Amino acid sequence: MPTSLPSSENPRSETAPSTSVPDPILILATARLKSAGLRVTQPRMAILEALCRQSSPLSIEHLHATLPAGACDLVTVYRCMAAFERGGLVRRAVIHQGTSLYQVAFGQNEIYHVVCRSSGRLEPLSAEVSRELQKAVTLAREELRSKGYQEIAHMLEFSGVAPHSKVQG
């Protein structure tokens, strides 16, 4: 199901619907934090829980807007997301018009997306295509690890003009 990318003016208005986060995901998140060498803190857990509730990638600003009031400031979210990305807990899903969108990188199958360059709508690729892409990413990571690379991250972005969209010129 396509999702409009949130506008910078009103981050809450267009975010994808959230879902309940099962406890096993939060247990896994805690374990992943520890294995990445990161301390388990209330702000980190609040950020991970909010991110796990999202059904599509979102920006750091929009993630911050979904946190409970007073959970942490925006700078903390930026710092945590950078640490999470280095630790493999999140991945930068797409970059649209200069804004990075993030999603969790554990506890569920990664879904890749395409961004319509005309409308800005975000649409997931099929589960089958996402699985095949994930297999290729896993092979690439294994090869890089065998060569001694550490803190491996990847970014794969698809964009195009969706059917029935007008190209802005």
Q: Give the strand order in the sheet containing 158-160.
A: 3-4, 121-124, 113-116, 158-160
In a domain, 90, yes or no: yes
The number of CA neighbours under 13 Å toward the Cβ of 76 is 15
In a domain, 110, yes or no: yes
In a domain, 166, yes or no: no
User: Which tens digits make up the pLDDT trace of 104-149?
Assistant: 887 566 778 888 888 888 888 898 998 899 899 889 989 999 999 9
Q: At 58, which CATH number?
A: 1.10.10.10
**Inter-residue contact 46 to 68 (CB < 8 Å):** yes
Ranked by mean pLDDT, the top range of 10-24, 30-44, 90-104 is 30-44
In a domain, 168, yes or no: no
H-run or E-run covering 133 = helix 127-146
Quote the distance between the C-alpha of residue 102 and its chain's center: 2
**Inter-residue contact 29 to 89 (CB < 8 Å):** yes
In a domain, 73, yes or no: yes
In a domain, 167, yes or no: no
Domain count, the chain: 1
In a domain, 8, yes or no: yes
The whole domain housing 54 covers 3-160
Work out the average pLDDT over 152-166.
82
**Inter-residue contact 83 to 38 (CB < 8 Å):** yes
- Least trusted range by pLDDT, from 7-11, 62-66, 91-95: 7-11
In a domain, 22, yes or no: yes
**Inter-residue contact 91 to 154 (CB < 8 Å):** yes
Give φ, ψ of 155 to 5 degrees. -140, 125
At residue 122, what is the residue type?
L
pLDDT over 90 at 66, yes or no:
yes
pLDDT over 60 at 91, yes or no:
yes
